[in-house]
Chains A and B, each alone.
Chain A
Amino acid sequence: MTKALLLGMLVLAGGAFAAMPHFQLRDAQGGTHTSAEWAGQKAILLFFVTTDCPVANSYVPEMNRIHDAYASRGVEVYAVQAETTVPDADVARYARDYRYGFPLLLDPRQVLVQLSGATVTPQAAVLSPDGTVLYLGRIDNRVEDFGKQRPQATVPDLRNALDAVLAGKPVALPRTKSIGCAINRVKQ
């Protein structure tokens, strides 16, 4: 009876964790992160980037501003290096040179790329702590299309999505088109 109860609890625990992605990833700054960090957060924000994407690189200051505005409000913020062929040392130097103010994760098996469905850099994904994708798309509309951009953004799509999630409301535009560099998927 006790064994059966224990087995049942394990199965239930396994079921509860089924949707939760399990990962352990190093970052370019020397830290290690696990999916356990997501528990208890109000939202998870992933910025998909690649070291050689000029559009992604032009957004690093805005990514840092968004981190500064939302990290204290219960949003766990990471960047994710989506290109798997760049040596770790190059990504580390890139993170220093561009002054990322938050962890830049190395994702050699593209676990987070797969989870979010990211296809382009830069692309932002807002997830619930259980891994549900609540928003996937552009950071804002500064880069309007390929070869077309505004001096300043007029629609802060990502901030709008984060504000909705933090207010417990549905995201009005859960998917927007991202303009940037293609993410080459690795075979799983």
Chain B
Amino acid sequence: MRAPLSRIAHTRSGDKGDTCNIGVIALDERHYPVLAREVTAERVKRHFGELVKGNVERFELPNLGALNFLLHQALGGGGTVSLRTDAQGKTFGAALLSLEIELEDAEA
């Protein structure tokens, strides 16, 4: 079944210069393998489209049941030069929660 990422995870996002950092944390540790399988760097890059000019890096943190993403060239130059309302990438976490993922029946 298809479901939004918000079904199994929560997120937190912020900035370092022009790079947005998104932490994706499984609400239940049994869902970490689903995160690792479904939320790839390529899918995250595709999800944000034109908002992210650079590459997306993924870091795995199985001991925390979490993934960490760095989205490069994602903040219009960064907080000190960007005219965006959200120059710190605070809304990126919420945006990622709408990513559609595939859940097996046993995982739902």
What residues of chain B lie closer than 8 Å to A55, measured between beta carbons?
Answer: 85-86, 90-91
What residues of chain A lie closer than 8 Å to B36, measured between beta carbons?
Answer: none
Q: Decide yes or no whether A180 CB sits under 8 A from chain B.
A: yes
Q: Identify which of A3-11, A39-47, A141-149, A165-173 touches chain B.
A: A141-149
What residues of chain B lie closer than 8 Å to A181, measured between beta carbons?
Answer: 90-91, 93-94
In the bound complex, CA of A52 to CA of B88 (Å): 10
Q: Decide yes or no whether B51 CB sits under 8 A from chain A.
A: yes
Contact between A120 and B85, CB atoms less than 8 A apart? no
A-B interface pairs (CB < 8 A), number:
45
Question: B94 to chain A: closest CB distance in Å?
Answer: 4
Could you give 14 example pairs across A and B, Cβ below 8 Å?
A52-B90, A53-B90, A55-B85, A119-B6, A120-B94, A146-B91, A180-B91, A180-B94, A181-B91, A181-B93, A181-B94, A182-B6, A182-B93, A184-B10
Q: Mark A119-161, 1 if CB is under 8 A from B, else 0.
A: 1100000000000000000000001001101000000000000
- Given A146-B51, A181-B94, A182-B94, residue A54 in contact with residue B10 (CB < 8 A): no
